[in-house]
């Protein structure tokens, strides 16, 4: 199973067809070779095995990130109870 967490594009290297993305505070470089649409700084993408595979709407991205944050908070609460 793969969970694709929305990642915000923070830098683009056109020469290498790569972007630096921020995934909940973790930055990484990903390939843009699998995307048909144009990507700009500030866009949100979904990542799979090091490649951006889909551009998503910012509203959808923010809603997904909110859900992930809630899940993480609940997991951390459970860990402190043990």
| Structural domain for 46, as ranges | 7-81
Q: What is the domain-level CATH number for residue 31?
A: 2.30.30.140
Q: What backbone phi and psi angles, to 5 degrees, belong to 21?
A: -120, 155
Q: Is residue 2 part of a domain?
A: no
Mean pLDDT, rounded, of the chain: 91
Instruction: Provide the number of structural domains found in the chain.
Output: 1
29-69 pLDDT tens trace: 999 999 989 999 999 999 998 999 999 999 999 999 999 89
Q: What's the pTM value of the predicted model, to 2 decimals?
A: 0.84
Sequence-separated contacts (24+) of 26-29 with Cβ below 8 Å: none
Question: Which DSSP category does 42 fall into?
Answer: T
pLDDT given at position 77: 86
Asked if 46 and 6 count as a contact pair (C-beta separation under 8 A), the reply is yes
| Residue 80: pLDDT band with limits 50, 70, 90 | confident
Residue 1 inside a domain? The answer is: no
């Amino acid at each position: 199973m793969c969970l694709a967490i929305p990642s915000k594009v923070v830098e683009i290297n056109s020469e290498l067809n790569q972007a630096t993305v921020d995934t909940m505070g973790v930055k990484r470089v990903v390939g843009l070779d699998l995307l048909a649409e144009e990507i700009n700084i500030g866009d949100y993408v979904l990542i799979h095995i090091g490649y951006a595979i889909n551009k998503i709407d910012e509203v959808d991205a923010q809603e997904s990130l909110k859900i992930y944050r809630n899940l993480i908070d609940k997991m951390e609460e459970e860990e402190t109870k043990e």
